[in-house]
């Protein structure tokens, strides 16, 4: 009887050991889930990206958003789904896309461009909205200041460096007296950009000539009209309409022997002599950093609007040579300047 009621210490410890192993495995799994949920909330997230039209700005910002998500360690189709919609410049289509987003109710909505933000703030009132590639979000209705904004909206401003551009015009073209630009009266961001360029141009003693344009079909005639008024340089402000037609503007200006200074990086490769560009790829990546805060539990209302974190200065030596422009060494040798070959 005594023999049958006695077990060795090894036999009694095995079940306990197995329990401890199982507990350890479960704990490790929970730690992994918790680590992953810091990024995604533990489930596959659904994001929407609404764009107004096809343009270099849209392309760069979209790539910045996807690269920003990758930098967070998120994998497309596994950790998140991103639905991209583009209105191709049609306001009616844009409104329908926004209505569809409200119905679909994704976890977060990315917005690019001022027209898209203007429409979104009227239609999306509860979903988190993060905008980018917007010059002045306050003009677009996002709030009264970068701190006091709509409770569900925050984002990245890409207002052009107009003061910096005027400084470079005076440095590179010291004899210049008149600068010109096209602009789109229907775009609030374009009107705002014109006002900013005019403010700094007048401070520097420069005259600003402007020509309105309402459609892509008007770009060529509007550029020729501007060229006929003989500006010393065309400083093309940023808006959706003219940015998508920058190649046409630069070609016609070159034919009329008028140099172009631009505000979008790819314009340097098109033939602009000098470009002072907000980094629109970085603007997309910066928007994702704000999205991360929301995914981690912060409310959009508590996240101030920011200015894009990177600006580029690009020089095209071949374009400068064509116009017999000598780039000062004080500019070309700066560490923050990139030469386009």
pLDDT in tens, 174-228: 999 999 999 999 998 899 999 999 999 999 999 999 999 999 999 999 999 999 9
pLDDT of residue 317: 96
pLDDT of residue 57: 86
pLDDT, tens only, 81-97: 999 999 999 999 999 99
pLDDT of residue 5: 43
Strand, helix or coil for residue 177:
coil
Domains, in order of start, for the chain:
45-158+280-307 (3.40.50.2300), 162-279+311-339 (3.40.50.2300)
Which helix (DSSP H) or strand (DSSP E) does residue 311 occupy? Answer: strand 311-315
pLDDT of residue 43: 84
pLDDT of residue 42: 57
pLDDT of residue 336: 87
Q: Put the strands of the sheet holding 306-307 in their side by side order.
A: 80-86, 45-51, 108-112, 129-134, 153-157, 306-307
Cα first-last separation, the chain: 96
Q: The tokens 């917007």 sit on which residue? A: 134
pLDDT of residue 6: 43
Q: Cα(53)–Cα(56) distance, rounded to whole angstroms?
A: 10
**Positions in the chain short of pLDDT 50:** 1-12, 19, 21-41
pLDDT of residue 18: 55
């Amino acid at each position: 009887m005594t023999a049958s009621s006695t077990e060795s210490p090894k036999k009694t410890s095995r079940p306990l050991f197995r329990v401890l192993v199982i507990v350890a495995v479960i704990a490790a799994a929970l730690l992994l889930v918790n680590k992953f949920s810091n990024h995604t909330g533990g489930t596959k997230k659904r994001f929407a990206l609404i764009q107004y039209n096809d343009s270099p700005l849209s392309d760069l910002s979209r790539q910045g958003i996807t690269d920003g998500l990758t930098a967070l360690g998120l994998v497309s189709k596994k950790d998140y789904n991103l639905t991209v919609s583009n209105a191709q410049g049609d306001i009616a289509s844009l409104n329908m896309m926004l209505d569809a987003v409200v119905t679909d109710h994704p976890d977060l909505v990315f917005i690019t461009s001022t027209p898209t933000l203007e429409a979104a703030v009227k239609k999306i009132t509860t979903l988190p909205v993060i905008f980018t590639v917007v010059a002045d979000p306050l003009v677009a209705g996002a709030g009264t200041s970068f701190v006091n904004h709509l409770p569900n909206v925050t984002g990245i401003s890409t207002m052009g460096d107009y003061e910096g551009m005027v400084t470079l015009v005076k440095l590179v073209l010291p004899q210049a007296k008149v600068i010109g630009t096209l602009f789109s009266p229907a775009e609030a961001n374009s009107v705002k950009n014109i006002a900013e360029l005019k403010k700094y141009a007048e401070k520097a003693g420069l005259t600003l000539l402007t020509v309105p344009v309402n459609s892509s079909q008007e770009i060529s005639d509007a550029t020729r009209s501007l060229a006929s008024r003989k500006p010393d340089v065309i400083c093309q402000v940023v808006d959706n309409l003219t940015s998508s037609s920058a190649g046409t503007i630069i070609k016609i200006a070159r034919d009329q022997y008028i140099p172009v200074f631009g505000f979008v990086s790819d314009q340097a490769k098109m033939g602009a002599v000098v470009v002072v560009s907000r980094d629109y790829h970085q603007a997309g990546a910066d928007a994702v950093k704000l999205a991360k805060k929301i995914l981690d539990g912060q409310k959009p209302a508590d996240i101030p609007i920011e200015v894009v974190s990177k600006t580029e200065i690009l020089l095209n030596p071949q374009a400068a040579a064509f116009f017999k422009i000598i780039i000062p060494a004080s500019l070309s040798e700066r560490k923050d300047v990139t030469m386009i070959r």
